[in-house]
Structure 1
Amino acid sequence: MKSRDTLIRLKRFNVDEKRRRVAQIEAMMAEFDRMAVELDREIAAEEQRAGISDLAHFAYPTYAKAARTRRDNLRDSADELKGQLTEAQAELGEAFEALKKVEILQDRERSADRAAEAAREQAAMDRIGLARVARA
């Protein structure tokens, strides 16, 4: 029984670790998206200041060009994280299933123990009852 409790604790820790990983990836994706939106605003403001929005124009602002590159890199990174998120979610599902299997086994074992204990108690009560009947 003690080893099963240790196994359940280990499985729960594993599930919690996988949940943290999923949450971390989701937070990184949200942060990248937020940064990309901010860069979009900065690009628009820089283009408006310069009065040039044509990327091919020779006088296109250098800062806007660099900001576009950075924004595109952030979006690429967010797209790469989507694959990692899918994988992490699958691992979380597998870890959760493994935990549930062990918990179900433990519940069955406890139910069997309770049933055996109830049968022992009933047998003891039956013996007491038969002893009283025999004395009477």
Structure 2
Amino acid sequence: MKSRESLIRLKRFQVDEKRRQVTQIESMIADFHRMADELDDQIRTEQERVGITDVSHFAYPTFAKAAATRRDNLRNSALELNDQLEKARDELSEAIEELKKFEQLEERDQQRERDAQDMAEQVMMDEVASRIRAR
């Protein structure tokens, strides 16, 4: 019994850890998208400032080129993190299922103990009742 309780605590810890990991990856993806959107705004502002939107134009702003490269890198990183996020979500689901199995086993064992205790009490009550009737 004690080992199963320890195992359940361990499984709960693992589930919590997987949840934190999923949340962290989701947060990173959101941050990357936010930063990429900010770079888009900066690129548009720079293009409006100089009046050139054609990237291949010889006078296209260097800042806008560099910002576009950073933006593209952020978006690529977010895409790569999406793969990690899916994997982390799958691992979280598996950890939750494992935890449920152990909790169900523990619940079943506790129910058996309660049933056995109830049965023992009933046997004792039946004995007391039969002694009272015998008098």
Query: TM-score, normalising length from structure 2?
Result: 0.99
What's the offset of the Cα at 1:4? Answer: 1.0
Structure 1 gap segments, 5+ residues each = none
Could you tell me which residue of structure 1 aligns to residue 129 of structure 2? 129
Give the Cα separation in 1 of the matches to 2:5 and 2:104. 12
What's the offset of the Cα at 1:9? Answer: 0.3
Runs of 4+ with deviation above 2 angstroms: none
Residue-by-residue CA offset, 1:58-98 (whole Å, 9 max, x unaligned): 00000000000000000000000000000000000000000
Give the Cα separation in 2 of the matches to 1:45 and 1:134. 100
Give the Cα separation in 2 of the matches to 1:88 and 1:4. 26
Instruction: Determine if the alignment matches structure 1 residue 22 to structure 2 residue 22.
Output: yes
Q: CA RMSD in A?
A: 0.4
Structure 2 gap segments, 5+ residues each = none
What's the offset of the Cα at 1:2? Answer: 1.1
Aligned residues between the structures:
135
Query: TM-score, normalising length from structure 1?
Result: 0.98
Give the Cα separation in 2 of the matches to 1:48 and 1:134. 105
Could you tell me which residue of structure 1 aligns to residue 48 of structure 2? 48
Could you tell me which residue of structure 1 aligns to residue 64 of structure 2? 64
Instruction: Determine if the alignment matches structure 1 residue 115 to structure 2 residue 115.
Output: yes
Instruction: Determine if the alignment matches structure 1 residue 103 to structure 2 residue 103.
Output: yes
Q: How does 1:64-103 map to 2 (within 5 A)?
A: 64-103=64-103
- Percent sequence identity is 59
